[in-house]
Structure 1
Amino acid sequence: MSIEVSVKPQVSYLKQLLDLGQELPATTSLIREIRDRATAVVQELAIPTTRDEEWRVTDLSGLLKVNFQAVSNQESAISLSDINSLILPEAAASRLVFVNGIYAPELSSVANLPAGLFVGNLLAANIPHLENYLGKQQGGQEVFTALNTASLTDAAVVYVPKNLLVETPIHLLFISVTGEAATISQPRCLVVVEAGSTVTLIEDYISYPVTSPQSPVTNLTNSVTEVWVGENAQVSHIRVQQENKEAFHIGKSAIAQARNSRYACHAVSFGGQLSRHNLEVFQTGEATETTLNGLTMIGGSQIGDTHSAIALNHPYGITNQLHKCVVGDRAHAVFNGKVFVPKPAQLTNAGQLNRNLLLSSKARVDTKPQLEITADNVKCSHGATVSQLEDDEIFYLQSRGIDADSARTLLINAFAIEIIEQIPVASVRERLTQIVR
């Protein structure tokens, strides 16, 4: 008598993705140990469905229809001149480039860095206590995070020693090369900023060719970034996702903030047929300051999902979050923001706001700002708005000699520019402003 055991497609599909992981060099025992632990986690999980609360309004069934293949080393297909338009003048000498998740040293530039600062790939990293940071952020058992860790072969690493002011931004450029077959790449970033230091980080995801072909091939980018902000350190983190309209993009940013540290994230998303950014901030000491600014601009049938969580476990924390969505055509935006203020987090000051602008009658937004408070001496607020362009505002601009289309564009720009203006790197602001226009 034989017994047939059916396997859910979400389980078998996740196993297929896991099997696409590349082999490791024999000398990387730490990475192998980390991978083995994550592999054991992945083998107990499945691709989420809309029955899972965290994915209730984001359907991944389209992802399951794609037969992805492992990436190959295509760095030779891109020359420095090909990415000239992507090079930021402020970070021309502090740039790491990864092509399909594979380090491309000939496209990178890390010359003349300050003493003690390390900007390079994981396989070349020699930083103290690496084992205490890599793969040690909370939330590592989430399915896509665990899949990335289980497939880890290399990573972009930024290490800032104590009391160092890094005056120039550091640009981490991740390029997805579209080819004849659908591929999966799983970039990884590790950023360690020790006590008293200051750094600006630009995390950039883009498809190549920059101008997408008529029928771009689907690819999946599954990225994970771990940021450790030391005591009294300051990190400005800019994250831009601009992959082609056929891509799937799933990203995790996990941040740990020590006592008196300041962390600001400016996350902007334009690309992907389906994109999701999981942003999680964990307070590990008192008197931290956290600023989260986000902008999602989508159209067509795109899905743009942002899930954020701020876990405050110590007193005197300050958090401010503003996330804006501009949604056109039949696109669907999702925002779910959680702020946890347990009893130890007394004298916390937390504000959260999600503002949404719908540009068509078929555009859709699901918004769910959340505050979970058990502390009794705090100042907290949250809210969400959903609106459309007002006819009287357009009429007012027309009365000043501006045509209707230009009036709409002007109002959309004014809505989005509030987020872009807060980005501390001028060339990034200019580039994003042009995209919005």
Structure 2
Amino acid sequence: MNILVSPSSVPNSNPVDLASTVLDRDAYLTELLNQVVQTRHSASVEVDAWLQELHERAALWVRKSVLPTTRDEEWRFTDLSSLRKVQFNVETLDATSVQADTLLVPEAANSRLVFVNGIYTPELSAVADLPDGIVVSNLTNLPVETRGGASLQSRVQQYLAQTEGAHEVFTALNTSGIKDVAVVWVAKNVVVETPIHLVFLVAGEAPSISLPRCLVVAETGSSVTLVEEFTNRRGAESAEKVYFTNAVTEIWIEENAQVSHTRLELEGAEAFHIGKTAVSQARDSRYTCHAVTFGGKLSRHNLEILQTGEQTETTLNGLTMIGGNQLADTHSAIALNYPYSTSRQLHKCIVGDRAHGVFNGKIFVPKPAQLTDAAQLNRNLLLSPKARVDTKPQLEITADNVKCAHGATVSQLEDDEIFYLQSRGIDENDARNLLINAFAAEIINQIPVPSLRERLTQTVNSYQSIIND
């Protein structure tokens, strides 16, 4: 019998006997939980029994957990002490300052789902003209028709909060506060031509915490393109506001299905962002992720892939561009438990000023996963003497017939390359910008949505004036 390797190797992620654990171990975390629970109880929406059980079980895990510190191996380069200094509140819905036209991705003009402070906002969404075979909805408005003898609501229960790593502290905090969920369900053998745009915003004046939740299910033989965006679109006057986004996205890809996922983190300059993307891949499935991180004072993305069948294909592309005192942390884990799988990962960091980039990528290849082909590369570009990168690509292999490779590079802009461009009539600043654009373009050009490629290229250009000394 094959023993599955879980990609979750973060603190508090392994089940233990809760009855033997002292509760309320972390006063700050307990206060966050209390805010979440009080807001959920004050809502007028009736909660189903199964969801209430999820809430209570997750809250129990939070109460027995503690926030990770730099003494924890998985967090040793990411200090959360600045998060502890802020007293957050869970904000109610406030979409009055958001303009719908600022949220547009032209290719997804009729397939957009918008959540403000984790609550579905129909006046900013556009999902009325979707083709047959796909559901894009929030949890409470799911259609009532049955498929395969069961309602969609009942089928959602089989997937929500069921991925590996559900007991990790930030994931459990999100689950304990679920008020609504973005649900994308693609029926068997349905190919969705247009991308689905999921937008998560935070609005409010006080330091606030938002708990976005997303569930994606691609049934056998289906194909879908997702654009998931966490952003601050409320104007320049709100760019410096402090808030905390704690997001969880679960993606279930069934046999021979395909999901292309673009994840954009464009939070405000003083924001905290901790996100989890948990993906389950069945036999012959294909998953591609383009993860782009530009915003946030402190951000972290945990990307966990669990293979549950043979011959899967996994492609992970990442781009982080930070400056000032930003810290951006990317942790990925790919558990390849079955044979004949292929995975490719390329993550790039552009770090300027006094910013700090972190990358830790793990690939697990246990003995049953023979004939696996996996490659991982982290490339980093430092733009100032005080910029810093900590990188740790990892392979854990016990299979003996595999092809696996990993590597990391850290470099600066080469003087001879800048000199060459100057000799062709390009001034020094433009030469530097041209080289930075070329470094980022390798990731951006692989994004399958043309308007996003153009927008991100413009964003890279605007960021250079901030982080390029």
Pair in the same fold by TM > 0.5: yes
What is the letter of the counterpart of residue 106 of structure 1? E
TM-score by length of 2: 0.89
Cα deviation, residue 319, structure 1: 0.1
Aligned counterpart in structure 2 of residue 136 of structure 1, from 147, 159, 162? 162
Separation of aligned partners in 2, 1:212 and 1:166: 38
Change in 2 beyond 3 A, CA 1:404/1:10: farther
Contact 1:163/1:196 (CA < 8 Å) preserved in 2? yes
Larger relative contact order, structure 1 or 2 (CA cutoff 8 Å, min sep 6): 2
Contact 2:94/2:116 (CA < 8 Å) preserved in 1? yes
Separation of aligned partners in 1, 2:24 and 2:164: 28
Change in 2 beyond 3 A, CA 1:27/1:184: closer
Cα deviation, residue 125, structure 1: 2.1
Moved more, 319-328 or 118-127: 118-127
Query: 1:99 aligns to what?
Result: 116
Cα deviation, residue 210, structure 1: 4.2
Give per-residue Cα distances to partners, 1:246-266, cap 9 Å, x unaligned. Answer: 000000000000000000000
Separation of aligned partners in 2, 1:282 and 1:212: 42
Separation of aligned partners in 1, 2:363 and 2:260: 20
Is structure 2 residue 135 aligned with structure 1 residue 118? yes
Give per-residue Cα distances to partners, 1:407-430, cap 9 Å, x unaligned. Answer: 000000000110000000001111
Separation of aligned partners in 2, 1:116 and 1:426: 25
Aligned counterpart in structure 2 of residue 350 of structure 1, from 351, 369, 374? 374
Cα deviation, residue 180, structure 1: 2.8
Contact 1:10/1:47 (CA < 8 Å) preserved in 2? no
Give per-residue Cα distances to partners, 1:185-205, cap 9 Å, x unaligned. Answer: 000000000000000000001
Moved over 4 A (4+): 7-10
Query: 2:229 aligns to what?
Result: 204
Separation of aligned partners in 1, 2:71 and 2:112: 41
Change in 2 beyond 3 A, CA 1:47/1:305: same
Separation of aligned partners in 1, 2:216 and 2:342: 22
Contact 2:345/2:376 (CA < 8 Å) preserved in 1? yes
Is structure 2 residue 423 aligned with structure 1 residue 406? no
Separation of aligned partners in 1, 2:240 and 2:349: 25
Contact 2:292/2:319 (CA < 8 Å) preserved in 1? yes
Query: 2:87 aligns to what?
Result: 67
User: Structure 1 regions of 5+ residues with no counterpart?
Assistant: 1-6
Contact 1:260/1:287 (CA < 8 Å) preserved in 2? yes
Is structure 2 residue 421 aligned with structure 1 residue 386? no
Instruction: Give the secondary-structure state (helix, strand or coil) at the position aligned to 1:30.
Output: helix
Is structure 2 residue 35 aligned with structure 1 residue 20? yes
Instruction: Give the secondary-structure state (helix, strand or coil) at the position aligned to 2:299.
Output: strand
Query: 1:248 aligns to what?
Result: 272
Change in 2 beyond 3 A, CA 1:9/1:36: closer
Query: 2:75 aligns to what?
Result: 55
Query: 1:85 aligns to what?
Result: 102
* Correspondence list, 1:30-429, <5 A: 30-75=50-95, 77-79=96-98, 82-126=99-143, 127=152, 129-177=155-203, 179-213=204-238, 216-429=240-453
Change in 2 beyond 3 A, CA 1:210/1:381: farther
Give per-residue Cα distances to partners, 1:363-396, cap 9 Å, x unaligned. Answer: 0000000000000000000000000001111011
Contact 1:10/1:64 (CA < 8 Å) preserved in 2? no
Instruction: Give the secondary-structure state (helix, strand or coil) at the position aligned to 1:427.
Output: helix
What is the letter of the counterpart of residue 30 of structure 1? W
Contact 1:34/1:149 (CA < 8 Å) preserved in 2? yes
Query: 1:3 aligns to what?
Result: none
Cα deviation, residue 116, structure 1: 2.7
Change in 2 beyond 3 A, CA 1:149/1:161: same
Instruction: Give the secondary-structure state (helix, strand or coil) at the position aligned to 1:129.
Output: helix
What is the letter of the counterpart of residue 167 of structure 1? E
User: Structure 2 regions of 5+ residues with no counterpart?
Assistant: 1-21, 144-151, 462-469
Give per-residue Cα distances to partners, 1:156-212, cap 9 Å, x unaligned. Answer: 0000010000011000011122x4310000000000000000000000011132435
Cα deviation, residue 10, structure 1: 7.6
Separation of aligned partners in 2, 1:78 and 1:10: 39
What is the letter of the counterpart of residue 373 of structure 2? N
What is the letter of the counterpart of residue 286 of structure 1? E
What is the letter of the counterpart of residue 176 of structure 2? A
Separation of aligned partners in 2, 1:120 and 1:132: 17
> Percent of aligned positions with the same letter in both sequences?
63
Separation of aligned partners in 1, 2:101 and 2:212: 21
